[in-house]
Structure 1
Amino acid sequence: MAVLLGPPALAADPAPPSAQGPAFIDWSGPYLGIEGSGGASFGQHTFHGTMIGGRAVPDFKTGDATGRNDRSRNATTAVGGLFGGYNWQTGPWLYGIEADVYGANLKRPVASTAPGLGYEGLDPEFSVLRAKTDLYGTLRGRVGVAFDRALVYATFGLAGADVRILATYPDLAGGGVASTRHDLSYLGFTLGAGVQLALTEQLALGIDYRYLDLGGGGRFGLGALPGAAGGPVSTRDASFTSHQMMARLSWHPAGLTPPPETEGTSSPDDRFSLHGQTTFITQGVPGFRAPYTGPASLIGRQVQSTTTATMMLGLKLFEGTELYYNPEFSQGFGLSRTLGVAGFVNGEAQKAGAPYPKLRSNRYFLKQTFGLGGETEDVPDGPNQVATRRAIERVTVVAGKFAIGDYFDANSYAHDPRVDFMNWGLWASGAYDFPANLPGFTQGVMVEYNRPEFALRAAYTQVPKEPSNDVLDPRVFERAGGVVEFEERHVLPVLDQPGKLRLGLFSNVGNTADFRQVVGLTQAGLFADINDAAAATRRPRRKTGFYVNLEQAVSADLGVFARVSANDGRNESLSFTDIDRSVSGGVSLKGTAWERPADTVGIGTSMNGISPSHRAFFANGGVGLLIGDGRLRYAPERALEAYYALSLNKILTVSFNYQLVVNPAYNKDRGPANFLGTRIHADF
């Protein structure tokens, strides 16, 4: 607690230029630490050619019963253990060696009862084969480069694990349950990468990803299977792979030499910009009232994690012309695979959605600024911003791939789920169905005219080919999204504090279904499933709406915000979420009063609703982008969110988050649901 709540140990006064050391940490020397994750690691056990009673167990997907079949299942696990190593560093370049030992709780049924073995009619969750992995060990080399207080590195080396293979089956002849066991040891390889950040002169916090391929073993037996099938149980090979993401706390007894604290190290003449961020979110939900469950319902009693890591590269090609590129890794899932709540509780969840780190080029765009004369301003180096000098009155054109939220519906107090509010109904205007692929990005053009007292901006972008589709529709002259926003800037005379009011109008044309039409077709008996009716009747349709977005500083530390948004509610949403109208607001307070000026406390609330035809769609079994309980007893979805963002230093922030959602998915029959979360965010 002294480390977390006390003044950052590295925040020393700048040394004079002659005494300043290198602008990065020296990580040389030994280190020890602990590591672990809850629900952010994934593994897959695969059985090749499983035989029971002399017959091949049919493949789940293909029905292959030739003995060549593969039977595999993914599993999520919690892992944790100890690590240690030694670093050598020359300038910013580091190389070292590291070993770790950690336990896991990776277990998953692999082959369930199969047709033809005499077990038809049994519980489908009953398992013939089960694999359990308890203990891992790795020996890895690593190479990296130091930036400021951060170290980015890659790893490679050997990995081993102990695995128990169990065959468990009902004894249909003698009654009861019979089982047998086979122990295996694996030795394979591991590759990975990570980032760590110095907290104090001896402690560092990091996030580490590794991929393990432990190969396979030869044929082995699992004893004799009694009952209807009879005969031995065997498999030709059992292989195992795993993706693991862990948070790590390390102790460096030799000490970490900090870089000097300097301000304004970038100059307007800098041509390059290099920044990065990583965000690790873990959320859990206990049980709640749920008399029934549909295909897209929130499930209680679970914990899930998401991780994103982004590199932000910028290059000034010419005066006023800049090029940007953002590769991003993402991994993990939101609770219930990001389903069950219209105003979802993790704003990073849509960027993840994979059991292994997925690399995407989320942004690549060209920005051209045309100065219109008059007063100028210096813009410091920052994420996706090369240090430059520009005219205050200007026209800016952006072309390429970007997020609509980069330029529209911004708010100083509620706009970035990596650092402030995470609920979808709070960090954005919930009823604005902004065009985007699954991670939240689109391609198009944005134009902005800026003056000191206001800004006017507009964008024309691609939309997904279908609702919740990752492929953007290339027919931009037939199906596209348009938005216009007016931003007014003011200073309230009474408070002498700045504020902004944004008004946005949007209109999207995408391949969607009409709610009234699909409800009518289903009730007339032309479709047994309303979702089949929606899929069969999708065609280019327009969705229009608006949002109003206010932010106002009350003092230097206290700010308030509010949003109101609505759309026509006639057709399916394409990208964002199942909301037709939304109201939200809250407060954000810096911690100056308790001598933590870099900390932030936020409290916000939102209420979301849907149109009558949208309600009828869900009441008849419809499944939307995020919700669908199979039936519906309608009530507005209401949410409360509170967070405390604890700034450990200028790079690292740890947040504690609580959310309460009443009537999740607009259903009086479910909830209320409580959500607890933690968030680790680092940027450099």
Structure 2
Amino acid sequence: MTRIVSRAALCGLLLFARAAAAQDLAPPTDTPQDFAIHGQATLVAQGVGGFASPYAGTNSLTPHQLKETADVTAYLGARPWGGGEIWVNPEIDQGFGLSNTLGVAGFPSAEAYKVGKAEPYFRLQRAFFRQTLGLGGAREAVAGIANQLGGSRSVDRVVLTIGKFGVGDVFDTNPYAHDPRGDFLNWSVVDTGSFDYAADAWGYTTGIAAELYRGDWTLRTGLFNLSTIPNGERLEHGFGQYQLDAEVEHRHRLAGRPGSVRFGFFRNRGNFSRFDEALAYAAATGGAVDPSFTRRRLTRIGGYMNMDQALTDTLGLFARVGVSDGSIEPYDFTDIDRTAQIGAALNGKGWGRAQDRVGLALVANGISAEHRRYLAAGGLGVLVGDGRLPNAGTEEIAEAYYDVALTRALAVTLDAQYVGNPGYNRDRGPAEVFALRVHGAF
């Protein structure tokens, strides 16, 4: 039976808080780390109240519900030789997203996976090797954090990562909106909603990424396995269906304050269906709209822009825009063909709470005309599908949070979201979603 409070998460939070407190007593050191153990535990309880729901389909968001998710993760790292790092991230997960993580393309909790279970279960989410090759010149200090050993490295360098990890570990990062365990929760805020990145149902994949850092510039590229079927739990082996990613980043200072801009591109190659072909097949056979009958070898592409800028010592701005080929079904992320977001994050130094943070984000998600016709005919997407869509509109999302730092190791967050036209349906909503998040880490 689903529990509102996960015993595993609470035990993990207490253990991590104690470990972090003990760690704070140890003097800092510049000695390169040869091994490290970190951990985190996160509990999210999220609910939605009543909203207009004149009809519902298989993938609809349901009014009046409360769900919870919990996860406990260990980050185990070792350095086999200079510049090399091996990391594994065993994890215990439990819980469900609202409507079993369905009903909204910009889903309200990125802590909710596409696979929900009432009892805790084990996953090895990451297992990867990273090699950093210095190119000479100046060096910089490196903090010892989860999935990063402390020490120093060359500012100009090449970084290779291979194994199982998240595409978002390397691409489309943002210091203000990229961590559902510490900042925003919404899927289309922590990532570019139209970035159909390769992943299994838990958000991880296998592959290789290469990064070149030279001065203020970074060039990234990667090759990753897609899941065996769209939105699947199992990954391909040997890149039979794959994704290519590329990103260029420029770091700068405006009025003496740091900022960066990233431009990214992805290319998915695998067995997809065009929406109009699925509709034509259903019309010819008299059956339901099902893209599995018309999938064939196709290429789906997209791109994004992602920026962040510190405006003051305490206030930062971020924005993303993205677009992808809306004539072809999304594969591994969610049902968004175009997206735009803007937001800001503020720490609490001005009111004597320097470790607290407040965030606000506004998002607009859209789909193509072909995608609308598909959903209107009863087609099901990755997350959305109300059975019909007579009155389509832009999915409009606003999210605000206040993160209260109880200690260096433990934080509690209050989160509120407004979702207009959930699943692009003007007949439904608006939905008001509230969440309480408890997060501990060391």
Shared fold per TM-score greater than 0.5: yes
Alpha-carbon distance in structure 2 between the residues aligned to 1:389 and 1:411: 22
Q: Pick from 486, 495, 507: which aligns with 2:248?
A: 486
Indicate how the Cα distance of structure 1 residues 676 and 506 shifts in structure 2: closer, same or farther if over 3 A, else same. Answer: same
> Given that residues 13 and 441 in structure 2 are in contact (C-alpha distance below 8 angstroms), is that contact kept between their aligned partners in structure 1?
no
Alpha-carbon distance in structure 2 between the residues aligned to 1:527 and 1:451: 58
Q: Relative contact order (C-alpha < 8 Å, sep 6+): which is higher?
A: 2
Deviation per residue, 1:261-320 (Å, 9 max, x gap): 457634333201110011100001111101001010000110000001110011000011
SS in 1 for 2:99: helix
Residue 501 of structure 1 deviates from its aligned partner by: 0.1
Q: Determine the structure 2 residue equivalent to 1:664.
A: 422
> Given that residues 307 and 352 in structure 1 are in contact (C-alpha distance below 8 angstroms), is that contact kept between their aligned partners in structure 2?
no
Residue 260 of structure 1 deviates from its aligned partner by: 7.8
SS in 2 for 1:417: coil
More helix by share: 2
SS in 1 for 2:129: strand
Q: Determine the structure 1 residue equivalent to 2:368.
A: 611
Residue 519 of structure 1 deviates from its aligned partner by: 1.1
> Given that residues 12 and 40 in structure 2 are in contact (C-alpha distance below 8 angstroms), is that contact kept between their aligned partners in structure 1?
no
Residue 536 of structure 1 deviates from its aligned partner by: 1.4
1:640 matched to 2:398? The reply is: yes
Indicate how the Cα distance of structure 1 residues 366 and 349 shifts in structure 2: closer, same or farther if over 3 A, else same. Answer: same
Residue 518 of structure 1 deviates from its aligned partner by: 0.8
Q: Pick from 168, 183, 187: which aligns with 1:424?
A: 187
Tell me which structure has the larger Cα radius of gyration. Answer: 1
More strand by share: 1
Q: What is the letter of the counterpart of residue 311 of structure 2?
A: V
Q: Determine the structure 1 residue equivalent to 2:313.
A: 556
Residue 475 of structure 1 deviates from its aligned partner by: 4.4
1:287 matched to 2:104? The reply is: no
Q: What is the letter of the counterpart of residue 484 of structure 1?
A: A
SS in 1 for 2:80: strand
Q: Determine the structure 2 residue equivalent to 1:323.
A: 86
Q: Determine the structure 1 residue equivalent to 2:408.
A: 650
Residue 77 of structure 1 deviates from its aligned partner by: 5.2
Deviation per residue, 1:151-184 (Å, 9 max, x gap): xx99xxxxxxxxxxxxxxxxxxxxxxxxxxxxxx
Q: Determine the structure 1 residue equivalent to 2:14.
A: 197
Q: Determine the structure 2 residue equivalent to 1:496.
A: 256
> Given that residues 13 and 41 in structure 2 are in contact (C-alpha distance below 8 angstroms), is that contact kept between their aligned partners in structure 1?
no
SS in 1 for 2:11: strand
Deviation per residue, 1:525-557 (Å, 9 max, x gap): x141002xx111222221101000010000110
Alpha-carbon distance in structure 2 between the residues aligned to 1:389 and 1:496: 24
Q: Determine the structure 2 residue equivalent to 1:507.
A: 267
Alpha-carbon distance in structure 1 between the residues aligned to 2:142 and 2:306: 25
> Given that residues 84 and 132 in structure 2 are in contact (C-alpha distance below 8 angstroms), is that contact kept between their aligned partners in structure 1?
yes
> Given that residues 268 and 378 in structure 1 are in contact (C-alpha distance below 8 angstroms), is that contact kept between their aligned partners in structure 2?
no
SS in 1 for 2:149: coil
Task: Give the alignment of 1:187-586 within 5 angstroms.
Answer: 194-197=11-14, 259=22, 261-262=24-25, 265-350=28-113, 353-476=116-239, 478-492=240-254, 495-524=255-284, 526-531=285-290, 534-586=291-343
Task: Give the alignment of 1:33-44 within 5 angstroms.
Answer: 42=1
Q: What is the letter of the counterpart of residue 55 of structure 2?
A: Y
Q: Which runs of 5+ in 1 are unaligned?
A: 1-41, 43-75, 81-152, 155-191, 199-203, 207-255
Q: How many residues align?
A: 440
Task: Give the alignment of 1:79-94 within 5 angstroms.
Answer: none
Q: What is the letter of the counterpart of residue 264 of structure 2?
A: G
Q: What is the letter of the counterpart of residue 656 of structure 1?
A: L
Q: When the two structures are superposed, what TM-score results if normalisation uses the length of structure 1?
A: 0.62
Q: What is the letter of the counterpart of residue 517 of structure 1?
A: E
Deviation per residue, 1:91-148 (Å, 9 max, x gap): xxxxxxxxxxxxxxxxxxxxxxxxxxxxxxxxxxxxxxxxxxxxxxxxxxxxxxxxxx
1:678 matched to 2:436? The reply is: yes
SS in 1 for 2:282: helix
Deviation per residue, 1:480-508 (Å, 9 max, x gap): 1011000000001xx32110000001101
Q: What is the letter of the counterpart of residue 481 of structure 1?
A: Q
> Given that residues 275 and 329 in structure 2 are in contact (C-alpha distance below 8 angstroms), is that contact kept between their aligned partners in structure 1?
yes
SS in 2 for 1:585: strand
Alpha-carbon distance in structure 2 between the residues aligned to 1:572 and 1:649: 45
Residue 461 of structure 1 deviates from its aligned partner by: 0.6
Indicate how the Cα distance of structure 1 residues 79 and 308 shifts in structure 2: closer, same or farther if over 3 A, else same. Answer: closer
Alpha-carbon distance in structure 1 between the residues aligned to 2:23 and 2:132: 34
Residue 424 of structure 1 deviates from its aligned partner by: 1.1
SS in 2 for 1:599: strand
1:628 matched to 2:385? The reply is: yes
Q: What is the letter of the counterpart of residue 14 of structure 2?
A: L
Alpha-carbon distance in structure 2 between the residues aligned to 1:282 and 1:591: 24
Alpha-carbon distance in structure 2 between the residues aligned to 1:79 and 1:562: 34
Residue 606 of structure 1 deviates from its aligned partner by: 0.1
SS in 1 for 2:234: coil
Task: Give the alignment of 1:73-84 within 5 angstroms.
Answer: 76=2
Q: What is the letter of the counterpart of residue 371 of structure 2?
A: H
> Given that residues 4 and 68 in structure 2 are in contact (C-alpha distance below 8 angstroms), is that contact kept between their aligned partners in structure 1?
no
Alpha-carbon distance in structure 2 between the residues aligned to 1:465 and 1:381: 36
Alpha-carbon distance in structure 2 between the residues aligned to 1:543 and 1:266: 48
Alpha-carbon distance in structure 1 between the residues aligned to 2:428 and 2:305: 30
Alpha-carbon distance in structure 2 between the residues aligned to 1:499 and 1:193: 37
Residue 479 of structure 1 deviates from its aligned partner by: 1.8
> Given that residues 465 and 510 in structure 1 are in contact (C-alpha distance below 8 angstroms), is that contact kept between their aligned partners in structure 2?
no
> Given that residues 306 and 352 in structure 1 are in contact (C-alpha distance below 8 angstroms), is that contact kept between their aligned partners in structure 2?
no
